[in-house]
Structure 1
Amino acid sequence: MKTVKLFSVFVSLVMFLGFLGIASAGTLDEIAKRGELRIACQTQGAPFSFVDRNGERTGSSVELCEMIAKEMGVKVKFLNYDWDGLIPALLSKKADMLAADMTPTLKRAMKIAFPDPYMYTGSVIFVKQDSPIKTLKDIKPGTKMAALLGSTGETDAKKAFKDLKFKTYKGGGPLLINAVLSGHAEAGVNDISAVRSQVSNFPPNSVRILDGQLSKSPLAFAVRYDSPDLLRWLDLYFLHISLDGRLDKNLDYWVNSLDWKKDH
């Protein structure tokens, strides 16, 4: 009987120590041991994440992630995905975190965890310059609307207008502008920051952004729910860079102006 009790105590102790080992081995430890932070992002998401005319990856999110890796003391590895591949890449553990101009919707939060938002934006409608669509009131049922598959813009447009005919695309915002200019869609919907920057790559005065935003939306990076340590760390990171001015400097250059155009 004494032997059985000692064995039970031994087994319990082993399980307890094993639990402590599992509990202490978090995502931050894994990143530190690996010496590399793996980030799922886009290459067609200017001004947040894109490849510039010099063939260099750059953008607001890219710069923020490079700062994150520097603070962690590790290298950064960017993994390229289309918009609808970002969340699957994170959930499959190919990436440690997701860095894109993503809205932390309640539906997405059922799958992935978002730190506190670092900025706010909203969806807008854009058309060809000579389009008969002059205001949001001119968007009628049956209007062909270009949107990124699974994007907040698509959701916002469905809420704002009835019976639209959606043409969805996998990739970046320039695909939507091309769809409108080529006549495959009568209008497009996307984040105002993305539209404002991407339109500047097309012929002058070829695209017109309609007055009025469909929504006011927060933007945030994302991690898995099994990475609470990384989630908390990101909250502290954005708190620090908001207090020391680095966040405002990033957003003023990349998002609130087109100053980056002359450099990239």
Structure 2
Amino acid sequence: MKISFRALAAASIAAISMFAGSAMAADKLVIGTDSTYPPFEYVDASGQFLGFDMDIGRALCAQMKVECTFVSNDWDGIIPALQAKKFDMILSSMSITPERSKLVDFTNKYYNTPPAIAVPKDSPAKTIEDLKGKTIGAQSSTTHANYAEKHLSGTELKLYPTADEYKLDISNGRIDAVIDDIVVLSQWVKSDAGACCKILTPLKSDPEINGIGAGIAVRKGDTALKDKLNAAIAAIRADGTYKKIQDKYFDFDVYGE
């Protein structure tokens, strides 16, 4: 799951001047997402928003009987854009963390998966201890980057604006390992694009950093929308819609404990 920020408060203030007005009327909602994070969110060649998160979003909107549209936004500026009313909510694998909860309100979780590390297939590393002195790539402004800073002492952390960029660097031998959500890395190493690499190990989540699962972020005080979303999450879990979407992408329970 993509996750925690630094210098976010300053960025929030700066971004508020960039956008004006509310996103849409109450029966029409705009969903913000960083569409560079397959299999959770991505855009195909025709510009269609696809992925687990996008299908969950469509199911929630259908449950709430509202019309929804998706807007792509860079991850680093996605909370400031929400605060500035560019869109009504963030549905983008955003982990519920104490730091973010100071800036936005979160729904209940809609999935929860741990982080992991991937390395080249010919890497001599057998454990995370073997990565000391090595360079690890991560997407910037994420809990995975923060996890590496806290728990992977002795390594050099290299940050990238998107996951695609760290994947390119490890594929070309410019870094020694990468850290991200286990689902993202597992599906990537099974693809042609990720044939370079393998999962070294899953990691034990740190709740203070990784949070308690991915939630949908709304603006502070938007209790009405948060409550509607929570009710819709419970409803699609109860009627089988959630499982149908999950089974389209995963062969395990992505909802977690």
Query: Do Structure 1 and Structure 2 share a fold, with TM-score over 0.5?
Result: yes
Q: Which has the higher contact order (CA 8 A, sep 6+)?
A: 2
- CA–CA distance in 2 between the matches of 1:202 and 1:175? 16
Pick the aligned partner of 2:104 from 102, 112, 126. 112
Q: Larger deviation: 114-123 or 52-61?
A: 52-61
TM-score by length of 2: 0.80
Match in the other structure for 2:130:
138
Match in the other structure for 2:181:
191
- CA–CA distance in 2 between the matches of 1:202 and 1:109? 38
Q: Please list the CA deviations of residues 87-130 of structure 1 after superposition, one character each: whole Å capped at 9, or x if unmatched.
A: 11111111100001111111111101111112210110101111
Residue 64 (str. 1) matches residue 56 (str. 2): yes
Q: 1:200 to 1:86 in 2, by over 3 A?
A: farther
Is the 1:156–1:214 Cα contact (8 Å) retained in structure 2?
A: no
- Structure 1 residue runs without a partner (length 5+): 1-26, 258-264
Q: 1:193 to 1:179 in 2, by over 3 A?
A: same
Residue 210 (str. 1) matches residue 200 (str. 2): yes
Q: 1:222 to 1:256 in 2, by over 3 A?
A: farther
More strand by share: 2
Pick the aligned partner of 2:146 from 155, 162, 177. 155
1:162-181 to structure 2, matched below 5 A, reads 162-171=153-162, 173-181=163-171
CA RMSD, Structure 1 to Structure 2 (Å): 2.2
Q: 1:229 to 1:53 in 2, by over 3 A?
A: same
3-state DSSP of counterpart to 2:58? helix
Q: Larger deviation: 46-55 or 219-228?
A: 46-55
Q: 1:90 to 1:256 in 2, by over 3 A?
A: farther
Match in the other structure for 2:249:
254
Identity %: 28
Q: Please list the CA deviations of residues 117-165 of structure 1 after superposition, one character each: whole Å capped at 9, or x if unmatched.
A: 122101101011111222222121x321111111111122222211432
- CA–CA distance in 2 between the matches of 1:115 and 1:36? 19
1:50: how far off?
0.5
1:97-108 to structure 2, matched below 5 A, reads 97-108=89-100
- CA–CA distance in 2 between the matches of 1:204 and 1:165? 22
For 2:112, give the aligned amino acid. Answer: Y
**Matched residue count:** 226
For 1:177, give the aligned amino acid. Answer: K
Q: Please list the CA deviations of residues 23-54 of structure 1 after superposition, one character each: whole Å capped at 9, or x if unmatched.
A: xxxx99x633xx42111102211111102356
Q: 1:95 to 1:162 in 2, by over 3 A?
A: same
- CA–CA distance in 1 between the matches of 2:192 and 2:82? 33
- CA–CA distance in 2 between the matches of 1:255 and 1:102? 19
- CA–CA distance in 1 between the matches of 2:188 and 2:48? 17
Match in the other structure for 2:223:
228
TM-score by length of 1: 0.78
More helix by share: 1
- Structure 2 residue runs without a partner (length 5+): 1-21, 207-211, 253-257
